[in-house]
Amino acid sequence: MTADTFKMKKKTRYICQDCGSVAVKWLGRCPDCSGWNTFVEEMVPDKRSPENFSGMESPRKLGEILPSDENRLPCGIAELDRVLGGGLVAGSIVLIGGTPGIGKSTLLLQAAGLLSNRYGPVLYVSGEESLQQTRLRADRLDVAAPSLFILAEINLEVILEHTLKLKPRLLIVDSIQTVYRPDLPSAPGSVAQVRECAARLMRMAKQENISVLVVGHVTKDGAIAGPRVLEHIVDSVLYFEGEAYQNYRMLRAIKNRFGSTNEVGIFEMTGSGLHEVENPSELFLAQRPQAVAGSAIVPILEGTRPLLVEIQALVSRSAFGMPIRRSMGIDVNRLALLLAVLERRGGLSLADRDVFVNVVGGVKIEETASDLGAILAVASSLLDIPLPGTDVFLGEVGLAGEIRSVTQAELRLSESARLGFDRCILSRHNLDKSFVLGGGRIKTEGIDDIRDALRVTGLDKKVQPSARESFREPLPF
C-alpha cells in the first residue's frame, strides 16, 4: 500500500455505546463495561471546528462565587412543572425519552405554546415532520401562539444560527437522533453525531442562557438510544411511560440536577391532546366492582404523590401440568415469591392453580408496599370471598410470612381517608409511630403475619384447620 493510498483511506474507530470506550478494532465484548456487541464503527473527522476559548474564565475560590437564584420558567402545565421541580431552569438542557406514539411531541408542542404566550419567543425544531404536519398537530391541540416559531431542519449549524438570531427563551429539538453536524462524516443518529450534537447544544444553552428541551428515541429495551454519555451531558432526564392501549401516561424524572427525582406527572391522552390528571386515585377507582372476590385496594407512592390503585387477581384450576403465572403491573418474579409465601405460610394450596394478577389502569408498581394487597387479592379469588370494600391494605411481606412496615404510611392513609375508606390493615410496626396515622380519620388494624391478615379479613373461614397449621409441621426430609 502506497503512502497516497493510505492517505485516501478513511480512518475509523469503534466506540462502546454503553460506556464510551474507544477501540481501534471491533470487539465483541467491551473490556470496561463487559457489554456484548456494544461497539459501533464511526468515522474519525479530519478537521474539527475550532472551539472558542476567548471567553474562558479563570479558576475562582468557592467562597468568592456568589450564589444566584434559579431563574425558573413555569410551563403552565402543572404536572410537567412538578416533575421538573417547579419549571424549566434558564440555561438547562432537558432530555425526554419514550416509546413511539407515547405523546412526547404532543406534550412539548403544548408546553411550547403556553411558554411562548407567557415569556416570548420559543423555537420548535422538528427533524421528523414538515412544517405543515406540525401545523396540523397544533390545530388539533388548539395551540395558538403568535410567538411560537417552527423550523423543519436537521443541520445543527443552521439550527444554532437561527437560535442565535432569534434569541428564544426555549429551544425544542425533536429529535436529537435526526440532527447532525456537517463536519462529522458519520450519519445522523450515530454514536458520534448524537454525542457531539448534544454537547454542542449544551454549550450553547450555558453560554446564551437558553433553555433546551431535547427529544430522544428509545431502544426496544426502553433505554434512550445512543451513547450513555448522552444522559450524563444533559441536566435532566425524563421518561414518558404508558401502555399504547391505555389513556394514562406517566412522566417521571430519572435525573434532575435542579430538583428531586421523586416526582411523577400523570396525564390522560385524549383526542385534543394531553390533559393533566389532578386526582388520579379517583380515576383508577371509578369503575371498581363492588363485592367481587379478588379485588384489593392498595395506597402506593409515585414519588411523593400517594395513589390508590386496585389490584385484581384471578385464580382458576390449571388445565395443564405446569400452572400459569401472569402479572401486569407487578414484577412476575415478585409474584412468584408471594405465591410461595402464601402457600407455605398461609396454608393455601396453589400448586394446581393458574394465577393472574393485574394492576388496573396500566400502573406499574415498583415498591414492595403492595405485597399485602396482592397476596390478599389472590387469597380472596382462590376462596371466592370478597374483601371488605372499605378496607385498604398496606405492607411488605417477608419470606417468613411476616408483615413489615412501610415508609410514609401517614401520607398514604391520609389519601385513603380522603377518598372515603374506613380501615387500613397494615403492619403492627407502623402503629408504633408517634404520629396519628391518617390524621385519625381512618381506623387502623395492626397485624403481624399472613395468618393475621387472613383472620381480620375473614378469609380464614374456608381454610381447613390442617392447612392452617401446616406451616408448623416439620419438613419430610
pLDDT average, residue stretch 123-137: 93
Predicted confidence at residue 76, as pLDDT, reads: 87
pLDDT band at 463 (very low <50, low <70, confident <90, very high): low
Is 315 within a domain? yes
The Cα-based distances of 477 to 167, 294, 340, 436, 466 in angstroms read 77, 35, 19, 48, 20
Mean pLDDT calculated for residue range 321-329: 90
Terminal Cα-to-Cα distance of the chain (whole angstroms): 75
Which of 9-23, 73-87, 141-155, 455-469 has the least mean pLDDT? 455-469
Instruction: Quote the domain boundaries for residue 25.
Output: 9-43
Side chain identity at 257, as an amino acid letter?
Answer: R
Residues 174, 83, single domain; the answer is yes
| Residue 43 pLDDT > 70 | no
Do 303 and 268 fall into the same domain?
no
* pLDDT, tens only, 232-250: 899 999 998 876 667 888 8
Instruction: Kindly state the average pLDDT of the residues 158-165.
Output: 95
Query: Residue 53 has what pLDDT?
Result: 46
The reported pLDDT for the residue numbered 214 is: 95
Q: How many CB atoms lie within 10 A of CB 68?
A: 6
Instruction: For residue 175, say if its preceding peptide bond is cis, omega within 30 degrees of 0.
Output: yes
Q: Kind and range of the H or E element at 88?
A: strand 88-89
Query: Taking the CB of residue 307, how many other CB atoms lie within 10 A of it?
Result: 23
C-beta of residue 104 within 8 angstroms of C-beta of residue 98: yes
Asked if residue 215 and residue 127 are part of one domain, the reply reads yes
Q: For residue 6, what pLDDT is reported?
A: 37
pLDDT of 61 over the 50 cut? yes
| 438: three-class secondary structure by DSSP | helix
Q: What residue spans of 302-439 are helical by DSSP H?
A: 332-346, 371-383, 409-418
Does some domain include residue 465? Answer: no
Residues 166, 87, single domain; the answer is yes
User: Which residues pair with residue 264 across a beta bridge?
Assistant: 252
Q: Residue 64: inside a domain, yes or no?
A: no
255 vs 33, 144, 204, 387, 463, CA distance in Å?
A: 21, 32, 21, 40, 48
Whether 54 is in a domain gets the answer no
Residues 378 and 291 in one domain: yes
For residue 221, tell me if it sits in a domain.
yes
Helix, strand, or coil (residue 214): strand
Average pLDDT over residues 277-294: 84
Answer with the one of 278, 296, 314 that is the final residue of a domain: 278
- Least reliable range by pLDDT among 1-5, 179-183, 325-329, 445-449: 1-5
Q: Which band of pLDDT confidence, cut at 50, 70 and 90, is reported for residue 4?
A: very low
Looking at the 3D structure of the chain, how many domains does it have? 3
Three-class DSSP category at 324: coil
Q: Provide the pLDDT for residue 338.
A: 95
